[in-house]
Amino acid sequence: MSKPEKSKSKNIYRCQACGHESPKWAGRCPDCGQWNSMAEERRTPRRAPAAFQAPEPLSNVRSAAGDRVSTKIGELDRVLGGGVVMGSVVLVGGDPGIGKSTILLQAASKLPGPVLYLSAEESSEQIKARAERLRIDEGPIMVMPEINLEHALSEAGRLNPSAMIVDSIQTVYTGDLSSAPGSVGQVRESAAKLMRFAKTTGTPVFIVGHVTKEGMIAGPRVLEHIVDTVLYFEGQRGHSFRVLRAVKNRFGSTNEIGVFEMTDAGLKVVENPSELFLAERPMDASGSVVAASMEGTRPLLVELQALVSASTYSVARRSSLGVDFQRVGMILAVLEKVAGLHLAGTDIFLNVVGGLKLEEPAADLAVSAAVVSSLREKPVAPGTFTFGEIGLSGEVRAVSHAEARLKEASKIGLKNAVIPWGNAEKLNGKAYGLRITGVKNVHEAIEALF
Ligand SMILES: Nc1ncnc2c1ncn2[C@@H]1O[C@H](COP(=O)(O)OP(=O)(O)OP(=O)(O)O)[C@@H](O)[C@H]1O
Ligand SMILES: [Mg+2]
């Protein structure tokens, strides 16, 4: 954060760490001593506004629940909760080059009426080149290369677009503050202005936010509480698929994900993500297990890998990517204590293939299966998958959505299911063409899997 130019306005500077207010900028907060924490803010007079809205019975308020527009991109609509809500502000965050501009340009071409694309970091020619590469309908897109938000908003008022896209929030600035674009004060004030525009005109606004190196500072995080919906675009380097995840949604579930594949013609919706995530699964390899997980209301089969090897270090290394580290620690302890596995002195690495995250406890059985498989160098029988939560005494507990998981697995051709006894019992003989083994504890699970 560089020292802003001398301010003519009577703005104030507030420490982002302790809230200390100062009329002058300082590199270090004079109160709490934090470096680079002073951000500019507009001084708002504390007078009561002349006009205000009187309270009214909630039953008289018009319902706006149905006011959604479809982006015609199925996976984006799903993550938004069934299309974008009129007058809502959606933040799309993600690493550089992940495809934020691409998906919004693709969505813009499908929306009815003019869509104002405020491009604050790329020229109109660059947007044109992208649109040509994506072979999209350029008809509805009005491109505006501009970094001044007041200019953009006055044009938006004139144009009355069906949606507005701001690419990106870190490169636009409002003349109300003297600090540089991308600073915490600018990012927050600009977002607040866009929010007011969205609410007063009913225009949906999409804001692109870069995840900056500093992460918290001036990145999308400072905006999360201002906007209505926060979507993060995730993906792994070298992989072509991308996952769009809702981390906050005032108008829908936050458990939904959208799966896309990045191609030279843009982002393509992946109709059957399970197939994609299992496509390169090695056959007959130890340490690899298929987990039937749920992402919101959607079942997803993913490959979980473990590598257990004798440690050459005095402190054994344990790492997990995509599964909760604390939970893995607990499962390993159960495997040692209850199943009698010798894991002391071994390095253990766990990885969910494809950069996905398995956050539900239902992944426990797959974690233990992968560890046992790698430790014993014994592959799990082909066509086998598992799900189930493990308790501290080694019992396997039933999980939700068992039937959806089984159906999805059967759809992509898996054959054997090792699942909690509590779930198997409730199936009343329904098998979805699978051989189902219900297990009560980790012993039985290991027995059934190997
Ligand atoms: N000619 C191409 N062929 C295939 N893929 C391409 C091509 N050009 C760009 N891409 C893909 O598009 C990605 C860039 O997409 P996009 O510009 O939408 O990302 P972004 O998230 O907006 O990036 P930034 O942070 O730079 O704004 C590249 O990383 C690449 O994967
Ligand atoms: Mg971009």
Angle of CA points 181, 185, 188, to nearest 5°: 95
For residue 121, the ligand 1 atom closest to its alpha carbon is 27
Largest CA distance in the chain: 76
Q: Which of 71-80, 105-114, 247-256, 438-447 has the lowest mean pLDDT?
A: 247-256
Q: In what order do the strands lie in the sheet with 318-321?
A: 318-321, 346-352, 298-310, 288-295, 384-386, 416-420, 435-439
Tell me, which fold does domain 276-449 have in CATH?
Ribosomal Protein S5; domain 2 (3.30.230)
Q: Who lines ligand 1 at CB under 6 A?
A: 94, 96-102, 133, 210, 262, 264
Give the CATH fold of the 68-271 domain.
Rossmann fold (3.40.50)
**What percent of the chain is predicted at pLDDT more than 90?**
58
From 200, 413, 380, select the one nearest 301 (Cα to Cα): 413
Separation of first and last alpha carbons in the chain: 57
101, 213, 231: which to mutate for ligand 1, most atoms within 8 A of CB?
101
Please tell me the distance between residue 220's alpha carbon and the centre of ligand 1 in angstroms: 19
Q: Is the pLDDT of residue 3 over 60?
A: no
Give residue 196 CA to ligand 2 midpoint distance, Å. 24
| pLDDT tens digits along 117-138 | 999 999 999 999 999 999 998 8
- Residue 227 Cα to ligand 1 midpoint, Å, equals 25
CA-nearest of 297, 372, 310, 298 to 341 is 372
pLDDT of 60: 86
* Residue carrying structure tokens 């380097």: 237
Place of tokens 């350029």: 138
Comparing 69-83, 211-225, 283-297, 354-368, which segment has the lowest mean pLDDT?
211-225
Ligand in nearest proximity to the CA of 95: 1
Domain boundaries, the chain: 1-45, 68-271, 276-449
Dihedral of the CA atoms 216, 221, 226, 230 (nearest 10)?
180
- 217-252 residue pLDDT tens: 456 677 888 999 999 888 776 778 888 988 899 988
**Strand, helix or coil for residue 298:** strand
Distance of alpha carbon 85 from alpha carbon 82, whole angstroms: 9
Distance 74 CA to ligand 1 centre (A): 21
Q: Which of 24-33, 61-70, 84-93, 99-108 has the lowest mean pLDDT?
A: 61-70
